[in-house]
Amino acid sequence: MFVDSHCHLSSPELADRLPQIRAEMRAAGVKRALCICTTLDEFERVHALAESDPGFWCSVGVHPDEEESREPSAAELVSLARRDKVVAIGETGLDYYRLGSRSVADMEWQRERFRVHIRAARESGLPLVIHTRSASADTLRLIREEKGPQAGGVFHCFTETMEVARAALDLGFHISFSGILTFKNATELREVAAFVPLDRCLIETDSPYLAPVPYRGKVNTPALIPFVARRLAEIKGLSVEVIAETTARNFETLFLRSVPRSCDAS
């Protein structure tokens, strides 16, 4: 069984052809997926997806790139996190990649939003789904300042250095690898993947983005997660079955720790 630990099934590219995507997932042995929320407006749609399938769960949070989006309070996040099938807070974090004419100092709103999410995660007892891009030092600093390790979570779609991976692991976080692992120029990332202990690894598609080779540039779906698993298996020198099993178990440990077995899909 494969698990996609991070996908955007509510995105327009995927939402219109869900029956087909579900069929492709079944055919590929992808039984579970975490549907990621990026704005409060999107939450009801993401949550409905999670409720529609025993193998789907969802998160609640506002993505750091959603600048115009309504700002959540910690209380609101905690309240939405109490709903059935909500198993994570995020995606949240920092993204300084598209600063444009702004400086890092201008991004205080993003840092404040991230702090609110970390507080909500601690209060709700749910793990964080962390997005970090060109902002690893501040991401790690805020996690430490807000006692993020009490909530734990995952650095999703990891593209950072070995040093950042080591710091994230030291803070008790998991690390999730996407289709970028299969890209020709991702040599450094493959070295990081070789280093991260398997019991702290997750895999994800981040669909509809980042389709793995040989589908690079096309619309990604959770049905393509086996391509990420296969590449990680090659890097680790293990079978794809072991990668699938272990990353599925890691997903369960991190996200389904408070979910009663009766809600469990097998």
Residues that bind Zn ion (CB under 5 A): 36, 91, 131, 206
Residue 109 or 263 with smaller CB distance to Zn ion: 109
Q: How far apart are alpha carbons 175 and 108 in whole angstroms? A: 26
Residue 178 or 182 with smaller CB distance to Zn ion: 178
In whole angstroms, the minimum distance from the beta carbon of 16 to Zn ion comes to 19
For residue 263, the one-letter residue type is C
In whole angstroms, the minimum distance from the beta carbon of 157 to Zn ion comes to 5
In whole angstroms, the minimum distance from the beta carbon of 204 to Zn ion comes to 8
Residue 5 or 182 with smaller CB distance to Zn ion: 5
Q: How many CA atoms lie within 13 A of 228 on its CB side?
A: 35
Residue 18 or 240 with smaller CB distance to Zn ion: 18
Residue 60 or 233 with smaller CB distance to Zn ion: 60
In whole angstroms, the minimum distance from the beta carbon of 90 to Zn ion comes to 8
DSSP assignment of 129-143:
EEEEES-HHHHHHHH
Cβ-proximal residues to 82 (8 Å cutoff; 6+ apart), any chain: 124
In whole angstroms, the minimum distance from the beta carbon of 50 to Zn ion comes to 15
Phi, psi of 194 (to 5 degrees): -65, -30
Characterise 140 by phi-psi region: left (phi > 0), alpha (psi -120 to 50), beta (else). Answer: alpha
Beta strands 86-95 and 128-133 are parallel
Q: How far apart are alpha carbons 45 and 48 in whole angstroms? A: 5
8 Å CB contact between 99 and 107: yes
What residue number has its CB nearest to Zn ion? 131
DSSP assignment of 207-264:
TTS-PPTTSTTS---GGGHHHHHHHHHHHHTS-HHHHHHHHHHHHHHHHSTTS-GGG-
Residue 155 or 227 with smaller CB distance to Zn ion: 155
In whole angstroms, the minimum distance from the beta carbon of 195 to Zn ion comes to 22
